[in-house]
A and B are shown apart, each in its own frame.
Chain A
């Protein structure tokens, strides 16, 4: 590549010990300089999908223009290069999560697919009639429905761990749900609707004490703070590439090797076999056993570039920046009369759900959009937690590495406009 390596480029994106150089980061994201409705874009919907830095876009283009072929197949130069780059991306994910070995990293199309994989394959082997699955009330639908499908098929029982009025996970109540029939605890590592970060290390410890395995949904965690799967001792960990500044269509599943070995394949097809006859098929070794079909090759390689970008910025700095912007937003938005905040757990990531009294979240979203402020409005694919608070939806601002206090000020000004219009 003729451009600066992603790592070198990103390293120049910070200044001082604990702060990101947001101006420099913003210059890396081409879309942020494109106006919306004639106004500068204030993008506060990274929890739905983050924007992409030039380094990620270029990595994908570079693959297609220079080193693209199908992987693990061809005996020719291009296929070998593409395979090597693809496997390098796997090694980057391994280091990102501190997995023991690359074969513990499975690439999928999305976080949703990763969770369906665990529900189906782990479920097929280890969950039967009367066995129990523990979820939390603040799960995304993608960590609810796969388990419901499994429960319908097998007669397993789903139990739901509650939260308090601040949105904090209730560890004591959770512990009461664990029992001899608990097989799986599947909870979020950061709630997409409330921002709550549950005490996952304790959750894992308690589950293991009852002989249950744990899957964490890290889709909203990996963009914001460092994750160490060995330290957490978690059995399965899921995240999606597109929320961590990588391409859409890239998902990750981490699983402890012995568990991935023990559970059956998720889909059948090419790549996932070592030998096929009509009598018998032998499955490929990890991780290929779970990677049937041609994957998102260029996208996965570009996800590697996104990981380079984020790690070069440094999770310490990203987490500190995230906490600072969230604290400022919580204070400023909380000051606006008639604004109610949802989710004020002590441990939170950069997500701020709110409602404007007497105004539906979609009307809030439309008015904010006209001010150039992009937020999500609605139930955020987490209807049970909306029901928990007795609401149908919220407006949600979520923050990324390219957001700062100026974005919050624009948000607050636009919310005041909502109040003026609906007065």
Chain B
């Protein structure tokens, strides 16, 4: 059960059960839809972007505890950040869940502490895509709004 407890930490279970920022924020001006066709997870991420800064962010969808918690934690972290900061955070998070945090370099310590709760997926390679789906989707929303992304299309293999 140890690996499992590390994967399903209390914070993950909590965010999985009662996700934060669930819903479509009023006045949002960017959105994208993410799919993991292998497991059927679906997510819509909504962003209110003003002057290049994320003013508000929310999501809807259905997925496992890992993908729901990851989306929920993500939305809590992004308000007030620039699109470029979001992109960097995503890159660092991806390194972290793939067990490459030694090379992440760029993650500020407080962000890293926050995201470490999801690092248990390293032991579960099949579940890495669950943890990164929301991040891929917000990345798409910021880059090309209205886009539909899939974990199985080449550009976001993980």
| Same complex origin of A and B | yes
A421 to B65, CA, bound (A): 12
A386 contacts B66, C-beta separation under 8 Å:
no
Chain B residues with Cβ below 8 Å from A296 are none
Majority secondary structure of chain A interface residues (helix, strand, loop or mixed): helix
State whether B4 touches A360 (Cβ < 8 A).
no
Q: Are A366 and B7 interface neighbours, CB within 8 A?
A: yes
Q: Does A370 contact B (CB under 8 A)?
A: yes
Instruction: Report yes or no: B3 in contact with A370, Cβ–Cβ below 8 A.
Output: yes
Taking the closest CB of chain B, its distance from the CB of A365, in whole angstroms, is 9
- Residue B28 lies at the interface, judged by CB distance under 8 Å to chain A: no
The 8 closest A-B pairs by CB, nearest first: A360-B64, A362-B64, A392-B40, A379-B40, A363-B65, A363-B64, A378-B39, A393-B40
Give CA–CA (A366, B7) in the complex, Å.
10
Would you call B4 and A421 a contact (CB within 8 A)? yes
Given contacts A359-B65, A392-B62, contact A422 B8 (CB under 8 A): yes
B58 within 8 Å of A (CB atoms): no
Q: Is the CB of A360 within 8 A of B65?
A: yes
**For B5, what are the chain A residues with a Cβ–Cβ distance below 8 Å?**
421
Residues of B within 8 A of A386 (CB): 40
Contact bitstring B110-149, A, C-beta under 8 A = 1, else 0: 0000000000000010010010000000000000000000
C-alpha spacing A392/B4, complex, angstroms: 23
Asked if B50 is at the interface of the complex by the 8 Å CB criterion, the answer is: no
Q: How many A-B residue pairs have CB under 8 A?
A: 48
Q: Which residues of B contact A177 (CB under 8 A)?
A: none
Interface bin, chain B: 20 to 34
Knowing A358-B17, A360-B65, A363-B66 are in contact, say whether A370-B39 is a contact too (CB < 8 A). no
Residues of B within 8 A of A (CB): 1, 3-5, 7-8, 13, 17, 38-42, 62-66, 68, 124, 127, 130
Distance of B107 from chain A, by nearest CB (Å): 26
User: Which residues of B are found within 8 Å of A362, using beta-carbon distances?
Assistant: 39, 64, 66, 127, 130
Contact B62 A421 (CB under 8 A): no
Determine whether the beta carbon of A366 is less than 8 Å from that of B62: no
Contact call A366/B127, Cβ cutoff below 8 A: yes
A-B contact pairs, 29 of them (CB 8 A): A359-B65, A360-B63, A360-B64, A360-B68, A362-B39, A362-B130, A363-B8, A363-B66, A366-B4, A366-B7, A366-B127, A367-B8, A370-B1, A370-B3, A370-B4, A378-B38, A379-B40, A383-B40, A386-B40, A392-B40, A392-B41, A392-B42, A393-B40, A417-B1, A421-B4, A421-B5, A421-B8, A421-B13, A422-B13
Could you list 18 further interchain pairs (A-B, Cβ under 8 angstroms) beyond the known A378-B39, A379-B39? A358-B17, A360-B64, A361-B64, A362-B64, A362-B127, A362-B130, A363-B8, A363-B64, A366-B4, A377-B39, A378-B40, A379-B40, A393-B39, A393-B40, A417-B1, A421-B13, A422-B13, A422-B65
**Residues in A whose Cβ lies below 8 Å from that of B68:** 360
Bitwise interface map of A from 356 to 398 toward B, beta carbon under 8 Å scored 1, else 0: 0011111100110010000001110001001000001100000
* Interfacial chain A residues near B7, Cβ < 8 Å: 366
B13 proximity list for chain A (CB < 8 A): 421-422
* A220-B23 Cα distance, complex, nearest whole Å: 41
* Complexed CA–CA distance, A379 and B39 (Å): 7
Bound-state CA distance A203–B85 (Å) is 60
Residue of chain A at shortest CB distance from B130: A362
CB neighbours of B39 from chain A (8 A): 362, 377-379, 393
Question: Which of B17, B64, B65, B124 lies at the interface centre, i.e. has the most chain A CB atoms within 10 A of its CB?
Answer: B64
Alpha-carbon separation in the docked complex, A361 to B130 (Å): 13
Docked complex Cα distance between A421 and B42 (Å): 24
